[in-house]
Structure 1
């Protein structure tokens, strides 16, 4: 019998495969996971190649420990996707492939338990009523267990033990009382886990009547032959989700094995999408629709991933990490809110899920639908060039629903007329909020800054509260009585006096969502005000519960950040107020205007969706700015044309391709010196003759966690020249010393 050698990808910065001798029977195949020794420890790797020879000397070859036979091998198409992502984003294939897998697969000690059934306890209505009074007041551990169970709806036995050592015995006692119910879930079976999903309404007796534009869009997607990238440009409330549902229904009906991947930008959007899909596809097995995102419990994510990998799941809903899910029968990809920056990973592998979705569709020869009311300028330009097929939904789907009227409140004019604002809220906005309250309608106030105030300062000596670990101010969080750094998490109590001069009259400057919430409670008496931001939704399931309160009509005024700006179908919201949008007009980031326009268009679209007349009031000191004029006309097309013209003249994306080298050092001088050496290396690379190199500069927030950061931007009008340069540059960069770490980002969004 000839020797067998495998080339294995490991989650390691070196972009190479590692050779191992394989003595196990049967030998592994490409796409299989193996346990291998690496250094002084064992780790899990992915077999990429199998051969009968190795160039590594036999005395240096080590043997494979074991292969994971419980998981079917990943397909050749999936390996090709991972290889492309690794090559394009300048990372090792193991750095792409392995982090995209569930943790259970990346731990060889758990392979034997992969197919073991899992016990899961679900809270019953009787338990929800009885438990609060049945537990002693001092039984804090039991109360914590009951609280987590009530919030999550169900718990696995493993998760319960993490909360309380005797949790399983306690849950079994509650089971005997009829307070909980126990399910047994197979690793590859997600049917019982479906009980955690939001309840689906009964299938509608009749489907919504499509507009002519919706009908044309659905037919175009259904008739697509092979790879066709569609850009579905639909105004807010135009029924893009209905187009997705109809297109998927036709595809799944035509092929009983076909799978669909639907991407959303944020976790808090998955519950309403899941409810809509379960209601529409109620005839499918409960396990045929699964979600994949970082908010899932470890065991739940593993079961959902297995369901997709084995073809059992027909529809996978997920955030950006789901683009790397294994779907052997994938037939269509939908990317909702395709413009959203959340699709770009900002740590580790800095990939764009939207761009990988397009490549994956091209690789498999299937359609991909990019949906948005405000498409990214890159996608819009591709449609202008004829590379994407543009589908347009120019009006709202509900017969009597129209786009809201957008009005600008000139804050300078208000000041000249002596109409003072109350803590940042103008008189016209307060009057409009009171009017909606009297009519029993809901309002939304948008401010994309969380906390109470961004700055705490002393007007006597000029002291400003800063983070001791970062070059940033700390944010005042009044309800928690804390000062908190949003960059490193450092926290302290609010000082009673200025630490420099002793002045007790220190005061907050600016405002965040907490301060606006407090002010609204005072200026609109009787209103039920709810705040939704990253602080109020920290606990698992809390965002879904808060949004449910809004949909149930238990909220009069909703205050929030970008979490409330997109995707949500608030039926009773008739007024949107926008506070403090001007700061983005003068950002150093050339994408700031595009992002601001998208945010304002999206949040404006929350008003008037169910036939109620909608109104949007934008407070600004620059009412004559071209961006606000385009916003008032709902003129995305004109705005995009203007922005693309400016970018063409300035040689900015999408007319050039960029990469960013970031360095982190103990001092700023060390980081800049590293980047200057790196820039000097480019002169030795032939392909770099077609690449422009900018000076190394500090980041806007220079220091985070005592680490100083700087960046070097390079760009080229040729994607090929840029990629060739990066491939030749990487080995040179590894020879440089003097910094803590560095990374290359291709197609950066934040510069």
Structure 2
């Protein structure tokens, strides 16, 4: 019998496959997970090729140690997707394929437990009555376990152990009392809650003509069909997604759908909407995939998608690389959002990979947004995407809010009082909404209490000892915190430079605005939602539930509250400190600001209440604000694209960014200068523009100095050819701690 060899992808920077002898007594196929020795370690790899010979000398070949037979191989299409991402983003195949798998699958020691029959517990009717009163008052861990049982249909043994160290013994005791029931399911990974045909179909809202046309176009698409669904806020884009998915899933019994959202905090409301809609569609199961899931839950959900048990996968950007063997449609909601671009490791764009995946498989992909990215808008202008327009709100009596600009300079000249950055007209509008029992939203995209703490006697400003950045004052925690490295210190009693005790905060963050509103609008129930108030798992969902339940009068927050949320009772939006983005060095700053303001404005007046948006600004004549006042995305997009064309900026050129990190700034810059010199010998580089190496805006983070080198070309092919030839030369350069190459960078 001839020997069999496998070529395995490992999570390693080298863009190569590693040969191993396969003498395990199981059939082998590409796409299988295997455990192999690598140096002194034992790692998990992915079989990419099976061959009868190897060019590696026999005395250097090592054997595969184990095979994950319980997990079916990933498809050849999935391997091709990973190979494309590796090639386009200039990374090794293993650096793409392995991190795309759940962490639990990348640990061979967990395979037997992960795919073993799974025990799950549920609360009996008797338990719902007796258990709450049977627990000791101070047994907080037991009460947490009981609460988890009460809030879910069933509780997996692994999740129970995470809640209580003696969970299984406790649950067995409750079983003996008749309070808990135990089921054993086929495998832990088969956790995809299927819909029940006994549930009555929900009443469907009547579609507008534009919605019906969009659904029809998506349903009738043949082969690869990219759609740009441009709908104003509140126009019912989610309803279009639901109807299109329902028709495709009903027509194809085994079909799967992938729905991407930009942020984790948007998944609960999407999941609730999808579960409610598909509860009656027999055989339809829904799972979520995002980084906020526990490792075991993420692995089970991924496996449910991989085996076809889950027909709808709802997730953030990492879900774009999920294995879905029967994928029939992809939806990317809020496709403009920068969160779809990964900023660590493999720096991929989930939106762009979703489009490529749809093209690879020949299926429709829907990009939805009220403010599409200029790249997508340009593609639609060129006829490569089909534009579907929803020009009015879905609720007949709901209209787009009016936008008014509050000229802060005019307010100052007239001597009108303001309270800690809140103008008089905004405070009056907030009080009027409170009297009417309506909700208001105050948007400030800066968390913390104040961005700086300073001494006006000597000019000292509190800075981070590890970064070239100021620290942010967090008053409730009485701490100074660096938002770049996490360094934290107590607030000093006096200036460390001159001893002045009158050090004071400069600027405003959401914590300070929350404090100011409490005194400026007495009696209002104020809630702040930002990255600080939602650190604990599930806290964001709980806070948003309070808003939807009407238990909040004024919601203060960052971009977390600006998009995707359907606040039915919000009639006023106040925008603070928007001017800072008008004059940024980043050419994408105006696009992001306009999208943010359009999105947050769209939270007002969604259920028929007249909506109003008040924007505080010192530049009321700026063209961006005039376009915002008209809700004129089309005009803004066309004028901005014309500016980009004249300036030779994306989407009219293609860019790549080489970043270097060194112990000194000089070392980082020297590395980049050497890298630029290596381009002179590359033929394709003749069509590439190379800019000077420059420090990053925040030069130092965690004592590491950073610099960057930008290259661009009007030809994507020329840029890619240059990068492929450049990579081996870069690996030969020394002198820095780390370097990375990013294709299609968003932050320059």
Q: Normalising by structure 2, what TM-score?
A: 0.96
Does the 8 Å CA contact 1:152/1:540 hold for their aligned counterparts? no
Give 1:26 shift: 2.6
Contact 1:201 1:279 in 2 (8 A): no
Instruction: Check the 8 A contact 1:662/1:709 in 2, yes or no.
Output: yes
Aligned partners of 1:193 and 1:300 also within 8 Å: no
> 1:59 maps to what in 2?
59
Give the corresponding residue for 2:457: 460
CA drift at 1:136: 5.5
Could you say which residue in structure 2 is the equivalent of 1:477? 474
Aligned-pair CA distance for 1:113: 2.2
Deviations 1:84-103 (A, max 9, x none): 00000000111111111112
Alignment of 1:517-596 (within 5 A): 517-596=514-593
Within the candidate set 610, 613, 617, 1:613 is matched to: 610
Q: Cα gap change, 1:10/1:436 in structure 2, threshold over 3 Å: closer, same or farther? A: same
Q: Which residue of 2 aligns with 1:38?
A: 38
Cα shift at 1:279: 1.1
Aligned partners of 1:253 and 1:229: how far apart in 2? 21
Select the residue among 235, 244, 265 that pairs with 2:232: 235
Tell me the equivalent position of 2:80. 80
Query: How far apart in 1 are the matches of 2:713 and 2:348?
Result: 19
Give the alignment partner of residue 661 of structure 2, picking from 664, 670, 674: 664
In structure 2, how many angstroms separate the alpha carbons of the residues matched to 1:182 and 1:430?
56
Structure 1: give runs of 5+ residues left out of the alignment: none
Q: 1:602 aligns with which of 599, 603, 607?
A: 599
Once residues 153 and 481 of structure 1 are traced to their aligned partners in structure 2, the CA distance between those partners, rounded to angstroms, is 41
Aligned mates of 2:381, 2:550 — CA distance in 1: 42
**1:25 CA displacement:** 2.0
Counterpart Cα distance in 2 of 1:694 and 1:153: 58
Alpha-carbon deviation of 1:542? 0.8
2:364 corresponding residue in structure 1: 367
Residues 6 and 48 in structure 2, CA contact (< 8 A), matched pair in contact too: yes
Q: Write the distance in 1 (CA, Å) between the matches of 2:340 and 2:419.
A: 37
Match of residue 442 from structure 1 = 439
| Offset at residue 300 of structure 1 (A) | 1.2
What SS is found at the alignment partner of 1:586?
coil
Instruction: Report the alpha carbon displacement of residue 502 of structure 1 after superposing the two structures with TM.
Output: 1.3
Kept in 1, the 8 Å contact 2:201–2:279? The answer is no
SS in 2 for 1:251: helix
| Counterpart mapping for 1:347-746 below 5 A | 347-746=344-743
Q: Measure how far apart 1:109 and its partner are.
A: 1.1
Q: Give, in angstroms, the shift of residue 391 of structure 1.
A: 0.5
CA deviation map 1:230-283 (0-9, x unaligned): 000000000101111111111111110111111000111111111111111112
Q: Are the equivalent residues in 2 in contact too, given 1:233–1:373 (CA < 8 A)?
A: yes
Q: CA RMSD in A?
A: 2.3
Residue 288 of structure 2: aligned partner: 291
CA distance 1:338–1:664, change in 2 (3 Å): same
Distance 2:214 2:399 in 1: 20
C-alpha distance in 2, partners of 1:413/1:311? 62
Give the whole-Å Cα distance in 1 for the aligned partners of 2:487 and 2:287.
37
Judge conservation of contact 2:197–2:281 (CA < 8 Å) in 1: no
CA apart distance, 1:330: 0.5
How far apart are the structure 2 equivalents of 1:518 and 1:85?
A: 47
Aligned pairs for 1:92-131 (under 5 A) are: 92-120=92-120
Secondary structure of 1:594's counterpart equals helix
Q: Retained in 1: the 8 A contact 2:438–2:569? A: yes
| Aligned 1:225-374 pairs, distance under 5 A | 225-284=222-281, 288-374=285-371
Determine helix, strand or coil for the equivalent of 1:45. Answer: strand
Residues in 1 aligned to 2:176 and 2:398: alpha-carbon distance in whole angstroms: 52
| Closer, same or farther: CA 120–469 of 1 in aligned 2, 3 Å | farther
Give the Å deviation of 1:27.
3.8
Q: What pairs with 1:136-285 in structure 2 (closer than 5 Å)?
A: 137=138, 156-162=156-162, 164-173=164-173, 184-187=184-187, 190=190, 205-284=202-281
Summarize the Cα distance change of 1:739–1:285 in structure 2 as closer, same or farther, 3 Å threshold.
Answer: farther
Normalization by structure 1: what TM-score?
A: 0.96
Contact 1:668 1:708 in 2 (8 A): yes
Contact kept, 8 Å, 2:118 with 2:188, in 1: the verdict is no
Quick check: 2:191–2:301 contact (8 Å CA) kept in 1?
no
Residue 567 of structure 1 deviates from its aligned partner by 0.5
Q: 1:146 offset after TM fit, Å?
A: 6.9
CA 1:354–1:389: 2 relative to 1, 3 Å: same
| CA deviation map 1:504-531 (0-9, x unaligned) | 1111111111111111111111111011
C-alpha distance in 2, partners of 1:191/1:637? 44
What is the CA deviation profile of residues 60-98 of structure 1, one whole-angstrom value per residue up to 9, with x for unaligned ones? 111111111100000000000000000000001111111
SS in 1 for 2:582: helix
CA contact (8 A) 2:441 2:556 kept: yes
- Worse-matched range after superposition: 625-634 or 94-103: 94-103
Between 624-633 and 302-311, report the one with greater CA deviation.
Answer: 302-311
Secondary structure, aligned partner of 1:165: coil
Structure 1 residue 409: Cα displacement? 0.5
Deviations 1:148-175 (A, max 9, x none): 8889997643344455533433444456
Alpha-carbon distance, 1:131 to partner: 5.5
